[in-house]
Amino acid sequence: DAKTTQPTSMDCAEGRAANLPCNHSTISGNEYVYWYRQIHSQGPQYIIHGLKNNETNEMASLIITEDRKSSTLILPHATLRDTAVYYCIVRPLNQAGTALIFGKGTTLSVSS
Amino acid sequence: EPEVTQTPSHQVTQMGQEVILRCVPISNHLYFYWYRQILGQKVEFLVSFYNNEISEKSEIFDDQFSVERPDGSNFTLKIRSTKLEDSAMYFCASSAARTANTEAFFGQGTRLTVV
């Protein structure tokens, strides 16, 4: 099962920042935090990932707490097209592979 | 921008029939995955594939399923004898490496309907 806890749903006004929290209190030192999203029934879309430092790309920012037990995905200016299910995933590293294990995610609804 | 391509987008098959879902991963990627998503449920990992062999598989990936990379570009998922409960969206994904620091990119999926 997924090692993360996310709120089931969140709302955000268009143009405002969307801050999506994720708890991963049992994360180990060699595990990365990944964020994906799924718009309607499309394929999951990669957003960002990080280990312990904060990360930013053209889509979002990822803030990871110093103890690495939680993180926040920030969409700085949410648009209607950002309405989606957002998945926070802790990615294990083992000998066999590094499969992404999806949980139920957070349904973000952006409204005008 | 390179992308993972899946065909067909929708396939309808009769129960008991064999079905092959096709994927063209991003060209320089080496690590491939199949996932499925039953309507209204979460995305579930099926199998990962590297260097022409299965690296990891879930409990869902039983003897009815098989994967193959028949040539240098395609990656396929075969379901030998489909059941009604195999109806789902099937997503293929690929990544450039097998490390935890390498993102995977997903295709748009094949919707499989078993009747």
**How far is the alpha carbon of A105 from chain B, nearest alpha carbon, in Å?**
9
Q: Does B5 touch chain A (CB under 8 A)?
A: no
Kind of pairing between the strands at A61-64 and A70-75: antiparallel
Tokens standing for residue B60: 């869902």
pLDDT in tens, A48-103: 999 999 999 999 999 999 999 999 999 999 999 999 999 999 987 765 567 899 99
SS3 A98: coil
What is the mean pLDDT of the segment spanning B30-47? Answer: 96
- Per-residue pLDDT of A89-105, as tens digits, reads 998 776 556 789 999 99
* Assigned token pair, B83: 């059941």
CB proximity list for B41: less than 8 A, separation 6 or greater: none
- Chain A, 83 to 112: residues with Cβ < 8 Å from chain B are 87, 91-93, 96-105
Cβ contact (<8 Å) for A49 and B103? yes
Q: What is the pLDDT of residues A23-47, one digit of tens each?
A: 999 998 888 999 999 999 899 999 9
What is the nearest CA distance from B44 to chain A, expressed in angstroms?
7
State pLDDT tens for residues A1-20: 558 999 999 999 999 999 99
Q: Locate the chain A residue with the closest alpha carbon to B58.
A: A99
Sheet strand arrangement including A61-64 = A18-23, A70-75, A61-64, A55-56
Token code pair at residue A81: 């097209």
- Number of C-beta neighbours around residue B63 at 10 A: 7
A62, burial (CB in 10 Å: exposed 0-12, middle 13-18, buried 19+): buried
